[in-house]
């Protein structure tokens, strides 16, 4: 197992992206120096095709799938779009009544936005499945929706693990309920693969999204795993690559690097998960001691079943009276890199839809920070955060009061 280069300072934003492992980087560089389009018939093209197919086999083996079920994409967002739009169109082509798309209210925008695009442009009806205050999908609501509209549902999409608060979803229960009505299930497993066991076949899902840069691979490459008999329409059209549903010249260096990183990650996952859980628990306890007002969001790892219900490398807090952006910038100046939530929404002055769906008020949601751990994380990173946090929170709250900010229970 090779160790990635450690980012400067305390890097606590692995949920946004991870550093490439040395083996993944070496694989990328080696392939980037070779010519050959994987669709070409000459010797260089055949060599490139061989790399792609060996990588496909490796990805499939790591994720409990058949090689023919692996469709390479340019990352998680494309894979989610292909799943939501492609399955919707495929199912509707078979049965025009299939217009309902059921998604949990805490999905990543790469799932929510294409779903709502379908509502605005393709006649879809979107149903947001509610979640509890830990961010776990309401199975009773799903059961009722399927029972009432079983002939109208095109697909269900529920993420394996939430990217903000780290909650693990009951994916197998979702599959069991949906399959009783012949409805396919997609899951975005982007955050899960590096930290918890993910098995495509055993889970029963019909389609699953993964990406390279969340597990030590390069950005710009990922995959949609999809059963061969799943009706799915192409979103990109062109040369007919990847089962005809994802046209485009294959990025051989990125695909090889992704496969290497994934195999490494899966092999190291049990030991790494235990290490990350211990670091997370120290981080959670330290934040609570440093700021008793801070509220952990998502399942509490200190509870009987909480540790098994969230990602081992995730700790998400709201800090009443402090703006998340202020906390972020103050921590960054102290050499600690974290996040207010999804990097895709960074800089947008609106509360997290995930927290709002969990019942958190807009006021409290504005004070959110996500700390996410990964392969390069150490106790030093946690200690550096805890050393900086008390002064950072104090300054952020003081700034909020001076500029007409907010405190919990007070005016915005």
Active site residues: 344
Closest CA to 1 of 270, 337, 191, 213: 270
Q: How far apart are CA 264 and CA 212, in angstroms?
A: 12
Measure the CA dihedral 71/73/78/81, to 10°.
Answer: -10
Phi/psi for 107 (5° steps) reads -65, 155
DSSP run (H or E) holding 210: strand 207-211
Surface-to-core class of residue 66, CB atoms within 10 Å of its CB (0-12 exposed, 13-18 middle, 19+ buried): middle
Tokens 């697909």 correspond to 155
Cβ-contact 18, 373 below 8 angstroms: no
What is the crossing angle of helices 252-290 and 22-32, to 10°?
Answer: 160
Cβ-contact 231, 94 below 8 angstroms: yes
């Amino acid at each position: 197992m090779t160790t990635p280069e450690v980012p400067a300072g305390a890097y606590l934003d692995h949920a946004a992206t991870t550093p490439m492992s040395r083996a993944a980087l070496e694989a990328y560089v080696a392939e980037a120096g070779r010519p050959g389009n994987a669709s070409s018939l000459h010797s260089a093209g055949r060599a490139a095709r061989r790399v792609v197919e060996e990588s496909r086999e490796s990805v499939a083996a790591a994720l409990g799938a058949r090689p023919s079920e692996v469709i390479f994409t340019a990352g998680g967002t494309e894979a989610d779009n292909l799943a939501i739009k492609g399955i919707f169109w495929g199912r509707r082509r078979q049965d025009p009544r299939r217009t309902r798309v059921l998604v949990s209210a805490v999905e990543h925008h790469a799932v929510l936005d294409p779903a709502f695009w379908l509502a605005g442009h393709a006649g879809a009806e979107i149903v947001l499945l509610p979640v509890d205050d830990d961010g776990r999908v309401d199975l009773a609501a799903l059961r009722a929706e399927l029972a009432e509209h079983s002939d109208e549902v095109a697909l269900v999409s529920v993420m394996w693990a939430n990217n903000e608060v780290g909650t693990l979803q009951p994916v197998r229960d979702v599959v069991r309920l949906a399959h009783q009505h012949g409805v396919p299930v997609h899951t975005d497993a982007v955050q899960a693969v590096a930290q918890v066991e993910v098995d495509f076949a055993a889970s029963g899902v019909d389609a699953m999204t993964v990406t390279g840069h969340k597990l030590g691979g390069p950005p710009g490459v990922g995959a949609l795993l999809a059963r061969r008999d799943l009706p799915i329409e192409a979103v990109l059209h062109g040369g007919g690559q990847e089962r005809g549903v994802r046209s485009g010249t294959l990025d051989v260096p990125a695909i090889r690097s992704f496969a290497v990183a994934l195999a490494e990650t899966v092999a190291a996952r049990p030991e790494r998960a235990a290490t990350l859980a211990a670091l997370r628990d120290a981080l959670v306890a330290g934040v609570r001691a440093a700021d008793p007002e801070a509220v952990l969001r998502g399942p509490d790892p200190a509870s009987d079943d909480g540790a098994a219900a969230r990602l081992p490398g995730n700790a998400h807090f709201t800090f009443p009276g402090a703006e998340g952006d202020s906390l972020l910038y103050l921590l960054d100046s102290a050499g600690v890199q974290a996040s207010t939530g999804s990097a895709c929404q960074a800089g947008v002055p609106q509360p997290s839809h995930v927290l709002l769906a969990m019942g958190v008020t807009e006021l409290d949601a504005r004070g959110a920070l996500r700390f996410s751990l990964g392969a390069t994380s150490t106790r030093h990173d946690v200690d550096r955060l805890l050393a900086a946090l008390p002064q950072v929170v104090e300054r952020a709250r003081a700034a909020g009061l001076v500029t007409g900010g907010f405190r919990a229970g007070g005016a915005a």
